[in-house]
Amino acid sequence: MMDGNINRLLSGLPAGAGLAVSLRGAPDVSRGMARFDGSERHGSILYGILRNEPRRSPIAAVRLRPPAVCSCVSEARAALRCPQVTSTAASAVLLKTLRFVKNVPCFRELPPGDQLLLVRGGWAQLLVLGMAQDGLDFDTTETPAERSLLQRILVGTPAGKALGWRRGERSGVPVTDIRAIKGFLSTCWGLDISTKEYAYLKGAVLFNPDLEGLQYQRHIEGLQREAHRALAEHMRMVRREEGARFAKLLAALCALRSVSASAVAELFFRPVIGAVDMEQLLVQMLQHGKEKRDG
């Protein structure tokens, strides 16, 4: 079952179809990351805004209340313009990214439970980083808007169907999620990130100490700090004249955290593998690689 799903990721492309995807000629992913081995050993800010509203009369409250947004209005959504071609290209990036992750020595040294948590928690961000490195761009088209509940009633839609629009009838991904992905890709391409820089960025994303259930949380936190430190040292040596570059790359990582894993799965993989549990597929792919290596 697992091999069938993996095979479906890269199957079904006619000859030459890959030319429809924009590849920007970035370097190969695996070469840079293999150098990030974590051999050199060495918070988040939360605030609340409290505001006491003065009491108003009911009439004043009505006058000052902002206009309510009708819950019947759906957010704009979009889908891939060339789903088969783009999904297959993204699937190739995912497979390469997982191979690359499994070849990081300090990742292999972690217990299997922590490995699974890190992959399940960071696969989408790592994939988008891989897309940026490989220069994989994509085009989307807006999906048809749903009728509101009021519109369905007015045109005579049966009551049962009129209520059915609320749950998953419309395909596609919210446009805001697509803008977040494309905005991050544009930022990376504008910064002209090198292979080594991509490797260190992937290390910082992969070793996320904020995931719940990690057995070696402090050790993973140290690995993330080491990735940041190695990135900073690399830029001091190679890009000394770009003093603000490190801050720009960290800001890009912050923007990457806003990318929704569910949106990535829906946009890039549902056209190829359908309604498959993406996290379960990742677990199978990770374990499949371990079985091959152990065998």
In a domain, 66, yes or no: no
Identify which of 63, 68, 109 has the alpha carbon closest to the alpha carbon of residue 219.
109
The pTM score is 0.71
Position 112 in a domain: yes
Report residue 271's pLDDT band, with 50, 70 and 90 as the boundaries.
Answer: confident
Question: Could you give the percent of the chain with pLDDT greater than 70?
Answer: 63
Amino acid at residue number 41: R
Is 52 domain-assigned? no
Ranges of beta strands (E only) in 81-130 are none
CATH number of the structural domain spanning residue 178: 1.10.565.10
In a domain, 63, yes or no: no
**Residue 70 domain flag:** no
Our CA angle for 209, 212, 216, nearest 5°, is: 50
Q: How far apart are CA 125 and CA 145, in angstroms?
A: 29
Does some domain include residue 266?
A: yes
Q: Crossing angle of helices 195-206/112-134, nearest 10°? A: 150
Please report whether residue 175 resides in a domain.
Answer: yes
- Write the pLDDT tens digit of every residue in 22-36: 555 544 444 444 444
Query: What mean pLDDT, rounded, does the chain reach?
Result: 76
> In one letter, which amino acid is 253?
L
- What domain range is 203 assigned to? 2-13+20-36+75-287
List pLDDT tens digits, range 37-80. Answer: 444 444 433 333 233 334 444 333 334 444 444 443 347 999 99
**Local structure of residue 23 (DSSP, 8 states):** -
In a domain, 295, yes or no: no
d(CA 81, CA 134): 20
The domain total for the chain is 1
**3-state secondary structure at position 164:** helix
